[in-house]
Amino acid sequence: MTTDHRERHVIVVGQGYADYATEEAILRPHGVERIVQVDPSERAFADHLARAEAILVRETPITADHLAAAPRLRVIVRYGIGVDSVDLDAARERRVYVANVPDYGAEDVSDQALALYLAVQRRIVTRDSQVRAGSWGVGQAEPMQRSATLRFGLVGYGRIARTLHRKLTALGAREVLVTDPVLEQAPDGTELVDLATLAERADVISLHAPLNARTHHLIDAAVLGRMKPGAILINTARGGLIDEQALLEALRGGRLRAGLDVFETEPPPPDHPFFTLDSVVLSDHTGWYSETSIVELQSGAAREAARVFAGEAPLSWVNRWEDAP
């Protein structure tokens, strides 16, 4: 990898991290002395865009207008896996690389999925509330199932789902179903089925698909209607995978339970109807987080930008153009 000493401008757009010492150490051989975090609402944002050669971003949308205002931009790196917040077509048209960090956090997100499942299945939140209120003894009010008797369904079978599969095996899961359009044969220890079959047969469904035009509202009223009464839906991927109104009706009707780390709109409004339901356990898109994952994210994103500055393509390049090498 070659280096140069021309000063480069690298910005973090929107919400970021406590400091950028990790990224600066990796990018310093490529002429980056300081990484600047900028708020898109500030007047100085336009000037930073005009100078930026790399954008690092967590959740803030990067639009076609941003790209048009950044003539020197060479690469956008998402601190994370999903890139639905970046206008990939506009970046491709301008020959701006978009990369992500797909190999971080599989342990953390799968932990979150497992924790949400167990919280829902073992009624942790409602039992906590009842104990604090002076109640004792579950009786028959809140039925619970043994994990080893259940059939689990994984929608998508990338790194996170594979890691969760390993953990479910340790729980003694009796069967694991998988649906993923990329797979041609069932991974070891699973049965490959279509989404409709998975919905009908699984006792617990965990979502691990990317959000795009094809998967938006993948879990709609029809899919929810196929799920078994009492089944559990877990989502640690993207809120837009689920038609929230359809899920709300299923939860209100008592047919299903859910554990959700993500929402269609984040943060959700304070009057979101999910907040009134005991049948859903919620968290604040925190599945990705651990102290270890932060290091992996910051270093992984910086290394992708460094590859571009060195004249190479990113390893995790997500918006390839037709004449790409």
pLDDT in tens, 116-125: 999 999 999 9
Nearest to 216 by CA among 15, 64, 79, 82: 82
pLDDT of residue 72: 97
In the chain, the amino acid numbered 169 is T
CATH for 106-282 is 3.40.50.720
Is there a contact between 298 and 23 (Cβ–Cβ < 8 Å)? yes
Is there a contact between 147 and 172 (Cβ–Cβ < 8 Å)? yes
Work out the pLDDT band at 71, boundaries 50, 70, 90. very high
pLDDT in tens, 132-176: 989 888 666 778 899 999 999 999 999 999 999 999 999 999 899
Work out the pLDDT band at 5, boundaries 50, 70, 90. low
Nearest to 204 by CA among 181, 245, 173: 173
Each residue of 278-301: b (16+ CB within 10 Å) or e? ebbbbeebebbebeebbebbbebb
Angle between helices 159-171 and 106-121 (to 10 degrees): 50
pLDDT in tens, 229-270: 999 999 999 999 999 999 999 999 999 999 999 999 999 999
Query: Any idea where the domains of the chain sit in the sequence?
Result: 10-104+290-309, 106-282
Distance in angstroms (rounded) separating the CA atoms of residues 252 and 90: 41
pLDDT of residue 136: 87
Q: Which CATH class is domain 10-104+290-309?
A: alpha beta
Q: For residues 322 and 95, which has the higher predicted lDDT (pLDDT)? A: 95
Q: Which residues are catalytic?
A: 238, 266, 285
* Mean pLDDT, residues 51-76: 97
* Mean pLDDT, residues 258-287: 97
* Mean pLDDT, residues 54-75: 97
CA dihedral 298, 303, 304, 306 (to 10 degrees): 130
DSSP letter assigned to residue 5? -
Q: For residues 110 and 134, which has the higher predicted lDDT (pLDDT)? A: 110
Q: Do domains 10-104+290-309 and 106-282 have the same CATH topology?
A: yes
Distance in angstroms (rounded) separating the CA atoms of residues 275 and 7: 49
Which residue reads 């073992």 in tokens? 122
pLDDT of residue 38: 96
Q: State the chain's mean pLDDT as an integer.
A: 94
* Mean pLDDT, residues 30-54: 96
Decide: residue 84, CB within 10 A, 0-12 exposed, 13-18 middle, 19+ buried: middle
pLDDT of residue 322: 79
CA 309, 315, 317, 321 torsion-angle sign:
positive
DSSP per residue, 116-144: HHHHHHTTHHHHHHHHHTT----TTTS--
For the whole model, what pTM was predicted?
0.85
Query: Which H/E stretch holds residue 36?
Result: strand 35-38
* Mean pLDDT, residues 30-37: 96
Angle between helices 106-121 and 124-132 (to 10 degrees): 60
pLDDT of residue 1: 47
